[in-house]
Each structure stands twice: as structure tokens, then as C-alpha cells.
Amino acid sequence: MLNIIASTHIAPADTLTVNGERLMQMMTDVGAIGALPNGGVRRLAFSPEDRECRQLVRSWMAAAGMTVTIDAAGNMIGRYAGRFPQAPALATGSHLDTVPNAGIYDGTYGVLAGVEVARTLHDQGIRPDHPIEVIVFADEERTMIGSKAMAGKANLEPSFYEHPHYEPIDMGVNFIGGDWAQLPSAKRDTDGLAAFVELHVEQGPVLEAAGNPMGLVTGIVGQRRYLIAIDGTASHAGTTPMPMRQDALVAASQIILAVNRLGNKTGDGYGEQVATVGAMQLSPNVANTIPGRVEMTLDIRDLSNQRLDAMVAELEAEMDAIATQTQTQIHIKPQLRNEPVPVNSHIYNAIAQVCDELKLPAQSLPSRASHDAQIIASITDMGMIFVPSQDGISHSETEYTTPEHCIQGANILLHTLLKLDQHYRCPEYLPAIRTESKV
Ligand SMILES: [Zn+2]
């Protein structure tokens, strides 16, 4: 019986394709909402442009035969019915809100590719076993309130998200159709969501440098941020002899080079990590005074917590040696810790298999940027597909991905969802499928 139910809608990967022209037209139409003079877009979460854009996307979802709802967190969810309504959904999606000077691809591409997948299924009369959902997450770029609420991880107190440049978050969520007072109701789990696959532009230069393969995301890196404080002695730059100085900036400079060496380390599992000193303050910051104190940030990211621990331990040993040599005191304080999020291996394999079937070269890589997918991974199986970004540029008006890569990515998403439709067979709803199929 399983053979019968599993084979009704399966098309060979190379015969069923999305409508690429329609996808690119949707990209152009959405890019016009909040358009900036140089081809970019400014569509801040909860702005009138954000709301207008959602209305337009909602109309396309409806045209694909989807029912559209907005949950309490303001997530807009288009649902394409499956053959078995009691089955949990296979979901995709991303965000339509942008940073102030954005390109048109970040987030938007993942949403519209999802909509195009649904439109293709609708056009072809294909009805998967599971419902397919396309989720437009609320405010990805600043608070990730949409995905956090869906994962049950949102702070219910609006003041937690307070920011001098933004209106209160409860007002924003309500403006786009959410209902802050009911925020906990946005929570989902595996009973409703079997899997989530996010398609996104890479936002980095790795795929382009490798000759533009499709990106098989291995996980979203863990991120740790520290504050390093170096105390020396501020004294006269003319009268203090060189051997008698406790120059905090000289110590800081050596630490920066040590951080850079750690980032460049290879072998022993190293090679994907990044390490950055991005901000620094020195005092008194005067031309004729030896710097007495330096404060600087350290940001390290990797897929492995073990390697992150080892990097910090190695740097601490180096800082001890630098402190002795420069006669300074060095302290390091943790400020932020986001755990690495691996992707689900079944979804990763499904994406890899689809790339193979579509004869599209693919390469594994971690995501070093945050995405809604990393939050949703806490409630269901998660996978991600990347398409190449030209020159690796993102969060910029010059962000660009070729139409060819956009269309290829959407086809990978389409066939990945169809493959997962066959993979997920939860005991709770499998009997129902068998019964109905026998009728
Ligand atoms: Zn994004």
C-alpha cells in the first residue's frame, strides 16, 4: 500500500520546474516597495512598506490556492493543503523586512521562492501528502520576534525590545496583523511542523570563489563575544623611557595579531572558524600620552563548541604571556553566547540528493550569519540552502544574485520539499494515510 500512496505525485526532478520568469517578476515587484535610488530597498519591520509588501505577497499566496493567516507574533503563514490535513506541515520561508540600506534578495528571495514553489504545485495540480507552508517571519533583522515566538522563546515584555529609534514592538506586531497580548499562541511544535527548510542568499563570498555551486548548509555557527580590557599605565610619551613603559595599546596590538592567527589556523578540524577584533576604545587617546587602558571586543564563530572552547583557552594562554611581557593586566569577560545549530542530516541529504538529480554542483558550508532557521531548529527538523551572492556582498544596495541561481535555488527547494514529503511518515498520522489510500 505504501508504494501506491507514495508515488501519486512524484515527478522526476528534471521534468518539474518552477516558473523562473514569474519568480523574477515577483522579486522585481517586491523590490519596488521601499525602493532606494541605487537599486536597493529600505523596508524596515513594522513600517508601512513592510505591511504593503506583505499584502502583495499575500495576494500571490492566495493565487497559489493557499490559505493565509497571521499569527499573534505577526508571522504571515500561507498554507497549501496536503492530501492529509492532519499531517504536520513541511514549511519554508524567510523574511520580507530589511536593514535600512538593503539589497532586494536577503530574506525576500526565500519567501518568494517558497511562494513560487506553491504556485508551481498549484499549476500542476500536485497535492503532496503533507501541507506545505510558506512563512513570512516578523522582524528578522532586528529582534527575530516572529521565529522566537514560534519557538516559544520570545520575551513577553515589550520593554525587553525597547530601542530609541524604534516604536514599541507590541505596536509594531499589531500593526502588521499580529496580537501581542496573545503572543504565546504563536508557539508551534513538531505536531504542526514536520520540518523547516530556509532558502537564502549566501551573503558571503565562499560559493562564488568555488565557481558558484549551490550551498549545502551544514549548520549555523555558534557565536561568542567577549570584552577584553588591558590595563597599563598612562604616562608622558616623552619622559618615560621605552623599557619602563606599561603600554596597553602595545599589548592590545599583540592580542589582535594572536586573534588573527587563531582565525587563520588550519588542521586538527580548524579551517571554518572566524575571529575578529571589531571595536576598540583607548584612553586617554592623546598623542603625547602612553595609552593606559584599552577595551576591545572579540567575536569568534565556529560550528563546534569544542573548537570555540579551545580557541578561547589558546588565546588566554597567549594573553598571559603578552601581559607578562608588556607588564600589563589583561582581563577577558564573556558578553554573548549563541550555541551552534547543526542542520538535520536527513534534510541535508535530501538537498544534496536533489542537487545531484538536477545536475547542479553543490558545496557544503556553514552559515556564519543568523537566520530564522536557527531559532526554528529548536522546535523541528531544520535545513538550509544557499545560492551564491555576487562578490559576497549583502546588507547593501549592491547585493546581487543572478536570475539563473535564483531559479536553480527555487527548483532545489521544490524538489527538496517533495522528497521530504516522502521521508516524513510519523506513526501518529501514518495509519490515517494507509486507511485513506485503501479507499
Ligand atoms: Zn536574511
Q: Is 360 in the same domain as 315?
A: no
Ligand 1 mean position, distance from CA 214 (Å)? 17
Q: Is the Cβ–Cβ distance between 85 and 63 less than 8 Å? A: no
Domain that holds residue 277: 222-338
Residue type, 265: K
Ligand 1 mean position, distance from CA 98 (Å)? 8
Ligand 1 mean position, distance from CA 370 (Å)? 8
Ligand 1 mean position, distance from CA 141 (Å)? 7
What's the rounded Cα separation, in Å, for the pair 246 and 315?
Answer: 20
What's the rounded Cα separation, in Å, for the pair 26 and 5?
Answer: 34
Q: Is 46 in the same domain as 176?
A: yes
Ligand 1 mean position, distance from CA 420 (Å)? 23
3-state secondary structure of 124: helix
What's the rounded Cα separation, in Å, for the pair 401 and 106?
Answer: 10
| CATH number assigned to the domain comprising residue 266 | 3.30.70.360
Q: Is 6 in the same domain as 117?
A: yes
What's the rounded Cα separation, in Å, for the pair 258 and 252?
Answer: 10
Peptide bond into 243 cis (omega under 30): no
Q: Is 177 in the same domain as 319?
A: no
Output the pTM of the full model: 0.88
Closest of 226, 250, 245 to residue 315, by C-alpha: 226
Please report, in tens digits, the pLDDT of each residue of the chain (439 residues total). Answer: 333 334 345 555 558 999 999 999 999 999 999 999 999 999 999 999 999 999 999 999 999 999 999 999 999 999 999 998 889 999 999 999 999 999 999 999 999 999 999 999 999 999 999 999 999 999 999 999 999 999 999 999 999 999 988 999 999 999 999 999 999 999 999 889 999 999 999 999 999 999 999 999 999 999 999 999 999 999 999 999 999 999 999 999 999 999 999 999 999 999 999 999 999 999 999 999 999 999 999 999 999 999 999 999 999 999 999 999 999 999 999 999 999 999 999 999 999 999 999 999 999 999 999 999 999 999 999 999 999 999 999 999 999 999 999 999 999 999 999 999 998 876 666 555 544 443 3
| CATH number assigned to the domain comprising residue 428 | 3.40.630.10
Q: Is 333 in the same domain as 385?
A: no
Q: Is 121 in the same domain as 193?
A: yes
Q: Is 206 in the same domain as 346?
A: yes
Cell of 166: 524604534
Ligand 1 mean position, distance from CA 256 (Å)? 30
The last residue of a domain, from among 284, 308, 338: 338
Q: Is the Cβ–Cβ distance between 173 and 195 less than 8 Å? A: no
Ligand 1 mean position, distance from CA 402 (Å)? 17
Ligand 1 mean position, distance from CA 285 (Å)? 38
Ligand 1 mean position, distance from CA 126 (Å)? 29
The last residue of a domain, from among 323, 338, 353: 338
Tally of domains in the chain: 2
| Count of positions (residues) in the chain | 439
Closest of 43, 42, 51, 34 to residue 176, by C-alpha: 51
Concatenating the DSSP letter of every residue in 63-78 gives HTT-EEEE-TT--EEE
- 372 class by beta-carbon count within 10 Å (0-12 exposed, 13-18 middle, 19+ buried): buried
Q: Is 19 in the same domain as 158?
A: yes
Q: Is the Cβ–Cβ distance between 136 and 90 less than 8 Å? A: no
The last residue of a domain, from among 294, 314, 338: 338
380 secondary structure, DSSP code? S
Residue type, 325: Q
Residue 265 burial (CB count, 10 A): 17
3-state secondary structure of 365: strand
Ligand 1 mean position, distance from CA 393 (Å)? 13
Ligand 1 mean position, distance from CA 266 (Å)? 29
